[in-house]
Amino acid sequence: LSEEKDTLEDVYEPFLIQQGLMHRTPRGRVATKNAFDYMGVKNPVKVGQSELF
């Protein structure tokens, strides 16, 4: 996108959150199941670390 970072955070991000397509977490932004369904992309099973070693 050719938008400024502030524009993305001030305009697009609240809209995506309001539509239920994105969540803000302490670790960053996360796409919701609705976002994956809308885009027709397979939702990852589980994000995170399954085992340390």
Q: What is the CATH number of the domain that holds 19?
A: 1.10.10.10
Q: Which domain holds residue 14?
A: 5-39
| pLDDT at residue 18 in the model | 96
| pLDDT at residue 3 in the model | 80
| Residue 9 CA from chain centroid, whole number | 13
38 in helix, strand or coil? helix
Q: What angle do CA 31, 18, 41 make, to 5 degrees?
A: 30
Residues contacting 34, CB < 8 A, separation 6+: 19, 20, 21
| pLDDT at residue 46 in the model | 66
Structural domain count of the chain? 1
pLDDT in tens, the chain (53 residues): 678 888 888 888 999 999 999 999 998 999 999 999 999 998 876 656 666 66
**Domain assignment of residue 50, yes or no:** no
Q: What are the C-alpha distances in Å from 9 to residues 4, 6, 17, 51?
A: 9, 5, 11, 34
